[in-house]
Amino acid sequence: MCLPANYKNPNCIFATMQLLDGKVAAAAIKEKLQHAVNERLLAGKKTPHLAAILVGNNGASETYVASKVKNCAEVGFKSSLIRLPLEVTEAELLAEIALLNQNTAIDGILVQLPLPKHIDDSKIIAAIVPAKDVDGFHAVSVGRMVQGLDSFIPATPYGIMLLLEYFGVATTGKHAVVIGRSNIVGRPMSILLSSHHPQGNCTVTLCHSKTPNLESFTQQADIVVAALGKPGFLTHSMVKPGAVVIDVGITRVTDATKKSGFSIKGDVDFDGVAPKCSWITPVPGGVGLMTIGALLMNTLKAAEGLDSAR
Ligand code: GUN
């Protein structure tokens, strides 16, 4: 679904439905980052440098990592893509991370998830030195985020906060319902929305696969973040008029009309839900673009040093 930012549905029951356009907000972030890189170079500092490790050749992971590398170049960052075969051992991957940890030319390290089953994600995440943890998945980063300290924030929830901030969406005192409790999106999102942040200060309910009568929660929500990975899950009857709806879903669905053979579907039934909303993110063109912008922000932060590292 591709709607202009000033889209007005004639059947819209909430008169001012507006699109949270990730293209516009991400472009603004990238402009800011380009400026920051230029300032750093003028001050005699180095170009921020991201290292991304990709294990195997999962199609979606290939696409995401390629996009991260491309966006680094667009803002003037360096990037290094380290490709490892699907059969790489956990020990070999840990050795690669140890090298990157020690390499002073590298500011940020990310290991694209998911990893093959024979590798323990949590061991890999724990091996990245916290000062280079631009994904914000390390226990030190998570702990600092929970305590409201300067930290790397996982890119998807951070991107959503930046999107809300860019469009000036008011969140204080609102009831936010987050669907999904992953460490990558749902759980950090619930923490950020309840934090002392201009786009936080919400009362948050975290729903998940074991939540009975989930629609009874979403129907009361001023803000819904759908991050469960089920295409079209959130439908018209589950949303309160005037709600802000954030769609994190990016599932590949078979589509014979597309050259690639698939299209990307969000967790929200956009056509049914949008007319009821005050604000809604499109898919594609919403949260996905902000995720990349947020990762780049974290990479700049890594180059500049966290408060804790200074
Ligand atoms: N897989 C899905 N989302 C992410 C992300 O934000 N970072 C990494 N490293 N892998 C992912």
Q: What is the pLDDT of residues 197-251, one digit of tens each?
A: 999 999 999 999 999 999 999 999 999 999 999 999 999 999 999 999 999 999 9
Q: At 238, is the secondary structure helix, strand, or coil?
A: helix
* Pairing assessment for the beta strands 175-179 and 203-207 based on DSSP bridges: parallel
Closest CA to 268 of 220, 228, 240: 228
Considering the domain 44-129, what is its CATH architecture? Answer: 3-Layer(aba) Sandwich (3.40)
Ligand 1 centre from 229 Cα, in Å?
A: 14
Sign of the torsion formed by the C-alpha atoms of 215, 217, 220 and 223? negative
Sign of the torsion formed by the C-alpha atoms of 213, 217, 220 and 225? negative
In the block, which residue shows the tokens 């998570």? 142
Question: Considering the domain 154-288 in this protein, what is its CATH number?
Answer: 3.40.50.720
In the chain, ranges of CATH 3.40.50.10860 domains: 44-129
- Read out DSSP for 119-187? S-HHHHHHHS-GGGBTT--SHHHHHHHHTT-S----HHHHHHHHHHHHTT---TT-EEEEE---TTTHH
Ligand 1 centre from 61 Cα, in Å?
A: 8
96 close to 83: Cβ distance less than 8 angstroms: no
pTM score, two decimals? 0.94
What angle separates helix 155-166 from helix 287-304, to the nearest 10 degrees? 110
Active-site positions read: 68, 112, 135
Question: How many angstroms separate the CA atoms of 191 and 103, rounded?
Answer: 32
Closest CA to 111 of 196, 52, 198, 190: 52
Closest CA to ligand 1's atom 11: 113
Q: Name the residue of 67, 110, 156, 187 whose CB sits within 8 Å of the most ligand 1 atoms, as the mutation to test its pocket.
A: 110
Distance in angstroms between the alpha carbons of the first and the last residue of the chain? 45
Closest CA to 98 of 119, 126, 77: 126
Ligand 1 atom nearest the C-alpha of 135 is 7
Percent of the chain whose predicted confidence (pLDDT) is above 70: 94
Question: How many angstroms separate the CA atoms of 278 and 12, rounded?
Answer: 10
Mean pLDDT of the chain, nearest integer: 94
Is-cis flag, bond preceding 282, omega within 30?
Answer: no
Residues 276-296, mean pLDDT to the nearest whole number: 97
Question: 38 pLDDT exceeds 90?
Answer: yes
Question: 270 pLDDT exceeds 90?
Answer: yes
pLDDT confidence of residue 246: 98
Question: How many angstroms separate the CA atoms of 25 and 107, rounded?
Answer: 25
pLDDT confidence of residue 306: 75
Ligand 1 centre from 245 Cα, in Å?
A: 22
In the chain, ranges of CATH 3.40.50.720 domains: 154-288
| CB-based contacts of 100, cutoff 8 Å, min separation 6 | 51, 53, 82, 106, 109, 132
Residues 69-77, mean pLDDT to the nearest whole number: 98
pLDDT confidence of residue 8: 53
Q: Which residues line ligand 1 (CB under 6 A)?
A: 110-113, 135, 155-156, 184
